[in-house]
A = this chain, B = another copy of it.
Amino acid sequence: MIWAGVDGGATKTLAVVVSEKREIGVGISGPSNYHDVGLEKAVANLREALDQALSQIGGKMPVTSACYGLAGLDSPSDFTVVEEAITKVKLADKNFVVHDSVIAIYGATGGNKGIIVIAGTGSVAAGLDDKGNYIRVGGWGPLLGDEGSAYMIGREALAHALKAYDGRGEKTSLLDRIIEKYNLKQVEEIIDIFYRKGVSVTEVASLAKIVSEEALKGDKVAKMILEKAAKEIALHIVAVYKRLGFREKIDVALIGGVFRAGELILSPLKKYLAEKSIEVNLIKPKYPPAIGALIIAIKNTAPEFLSAEILEEANKAVERYYG
């Protein structure tokens, strides 16, 4: 028997395989968000990562059971499309296609109960209880949601800088930083840059770094934006906590670039959680998502094989890919 955990992201696909003899292989390939690269390419990258991993232990497809946590599975139709395509190419006898937040939380908690909050370019939270119940909140994307994400922080930075410029808002050093970054001779040129030439969600999200820097220097508007983001992140945690009926102190794993702001985010986050009487341990994830996928693949077919030791070994093997 061979089990496979696959983390299919927007930039790379990582597969880890484990045999019943406890041999471990790891493979890496290109992105597998099918909205970005197309369905055929996405499936080809899944196969390639899996193929590489199997070649290291002399295994071959179909493996016993594989779990794929994929970026871009946001609407119900996404699942139908991707599951069909994966089943067709027979990578595994049993295929579990899940949202990337599912493998993230299984990895973060080692398959135990807990909550995960991802605040990167976008934002989403998920939780898992003792009975394996899983729920997810947020993750509606830059137009409909993503509150507390780097995108939203960047967008607020732009809006507040322009409000300061035209007299509607408080002065902020964010304005100077934005003028400098986009090399604006007239502030109005920003309209050309953002609408005519077009600016990606990632580019807007990258401004979150400037917000952290200016907040650290004491800029009030930048601080306020981060506090607002922290409040939104807290709302994600509170919603998961309540919907899963938790009453005890729960591990909450924090992932994503927004948390690089450190205490500027963590301190208001803790304050808002305390206000809601939610008791949590803010932790770093125990394992990365690929190990979360592996846990699901094993748990669903041979739960007796799952052990802390095998997970630790697999983690060592994938660690350098997540550096």
Chain A residues with a Cβ under 8 A of chain B: 35, 74-77, 136-138, 140-141, 143-145, 147, 155, 158-159, 162-163, 166-169, 186, 188-192, 194-196, 199, 204, 235-236, 238-240, 242-243
Residues on B with beta carbons closer than 8 Å to the beta carbon of A240: 167
Residues on B with beta carbons closer than 8 Å to the beta carbon of A77: 189, 192
Residues on B with beta carbons closer than 8 Å to the beta carbon of A137: 166-168
Decide if A147 touches B159 in the complex (CB within 8 Å).
yes
Residues on B with beta carbons closer than 8 Å to the beta carbon of A192: 75, 77
Residues on B with beta carbons closer than 8 Å to the beta carbon of A141: 191, 194-195
Residues on B with beta carbons closer than 8 Å to the beta carbon of A155: 143
How distant is the Cα of A75 from the Cα of B192 in the complex, in angstroms?
A: 6
Decide if A242 touches B194 in the complex (CB within 8 Å).
no
Chain B nearest CB from A178 CB (Å) reads 10
Decide if A144 touches B191 in the complex (CB within 8 Å).
yes
How distant is the Cα of A190 from the Cα of B77 in the complex, in angstroms?
A: 11
Residues on B with beta carbons closer than 8 Å to the beta carbon of A145: 159, 162-163
CB nearest neighbor in B for A148: B168
CB nearest neighbor in B for A77: B192
Residues on B with beta carbons closer than 8 Å to the beta carbon of A186: 76
Query: 5 closest pairs, A vs B, by CB?
Result: A167-B239, A137-B166, A75-B191, A168-B235, A75-B192
How distant is the Cα of A74 from the Cα of B140 in the complex, in angstroms?
A: 30
Q: Please, could you name 6 A-B residue pairs with CB atoms under 8 Å apart, sorted by A? A: A144-B159, A144-B162, A144-B191, A147-B163, A163-B235, A168-B235
